[in-house]
Chain A
């Protein structure tokens, strides 16, 4: 397999979809790395793992977990952590990341990234969970800022302060999802530019960009839904350009998980990211 120990390159990457396998092997440009959802590669064998083995010989791979439930009230699931370790030990990916969210409760997996209130108790719990993940995997992980739709009466601190403190306590890196910043900014009534300007960009190892859809809440306020089912919107591209101007080039992922387009349309989004990355190289 390709030596993945140098981490992800500061180029555009895409979320890997099996229907793009042939197109990627023929000509992936300008895509320089691929991200997979860890849980889709926890089977015993078959085509998914064979394809992944093939791709890892040619591209740096980022393993992105969606099921660890780091924000969960209960302890981390030992079996799931073991499966994750097995995958990372085998693949030796360039990066591993997960979400500031929970998805499992009382043995039921809810298959969504659910929000947590930003309190001291949540902070202590999340930091404990990340310590555990990093020690089991034997590697530094990156934690992603969420898209959120509701607020909590008990929340006592801002999201940027919360993430910064988690990173300080655990030594983890951060994954900055710029679309999530915009979606949450609109939904939570804060200024996404101020959020970006306050964000500890020196801790960011990866950027996510994706599409969202627009709705209205009960009071007629704009409500954005992080759908990963469309092109990245212009305000998100503008925020992204602001991040790159300040931080320099960073590995940048185009996420498109629903209504997946054909390869040329996905590659066109990656090209747009490449143009923003290029001038600062």
Chain B
């Protein structure tokens, strides 16, 4: 018995029990081997359920579990740290025929994944609001903002924020429109926010380290700068400013 044989048979439910794996009296032991198979599949399905709560809510536990089983066989974890397991889920869902009619699902998976990444990302100290306002008195176009590592931006052609809010907080029924979503973590609990139209390109510029002026040039239309900066300030997402 090598661990290659053992591992391959664990992930493939149709593979035979590896040679040399027996019960204490020397008999073949398929049901005993199945304990390991069930542990591996069961524990990873549980990890994925915890990782993608909104997918579970939208698909139902039973369907999600069946889908998660297909996912983990195609994409077993590469890291021993399961807190971020599942980053291939959006791509997997794009190819998974049974949910092909739910086009927004991959983006919802991206939201679940980004919430988790944000939850575990490094702590940072936000810039006091007075300090920020003092800087706004200067030539703001030349300023670069250092943003919190917990900040995440998701751009979608689906109403992902409305879908998320409708299912998380009983928000209103989503309208068919494109929405961009920002994840802020003021202290320890990340929360999604709807980004005003046109703001995503501006914010992507800031996150890439461009100046406020350069980022404004990237905006896809007129944007409400005060509203976006207000979101970043109240979400404690600005951790530093430089020229």
Interface on A for B, CB 8 Å cutoff? 39-40, 42-50, 67-69, 72-73, 77, 80, 83, 102-112, 114, 117, 149-154, 187-190, 215-219, 221, 223, 225
Contact = CB atoms under 8 A, between A and B. Distances in A.
A117 B79 CA distance: 25
Given A43-B83, A150-B29, A111 B122 contact: no
B178 to A, nearest CB: 30
Given A40-B83, A45-B121, A111-B82, A219 B6 contact: no
B44 A111 contact: yes
Contacts of A218: 23, 27-32
B35 A111 contact: no
Contact of A39 (B4, B28, B30, B82): B82
A40 B29 CA distance: 33
B14 to A, nearest CB: 18
**Which size class do B's interface residues fall under?**
35 or more
B77 A108 contact: yes
Given A105-B4, A111-B77, A152-B20, 20 more contacts: A39-B83, A40-B83, A42-B81, A43-B81, A47-B189, A50-B188, A83-B81, A105-B6, A106-B4, A107-B78, A108-B76, A109-B77, A109-B78, A110-B7, A112-B36, A149-B35, A151-B21, A217-B32, A218-B28, A223-B35
Contacts of A50: 123, 188
A110 B76 contact: yes
Contact of B7 (A42, A108, A154): A108
Given A40-B83, A45-B120, A112 B43 contact: yes
29 contacts: A43-B83, A43-B120, A46-B123, A46-B150, A46-B188, A49-B123, A50-B123, A50-B188, A83-B81, A109-B79, A109-B82, A110-B10, A110-B40, A111-B39, A111-B77, A112-B40, A117-B1, A117-B20, A149-B29, A152-B22, A153-B1, A154-B1, A154-B20, A187-B24, A189-B25, A218-B29, A218-B31, A221-B23, A223-B35
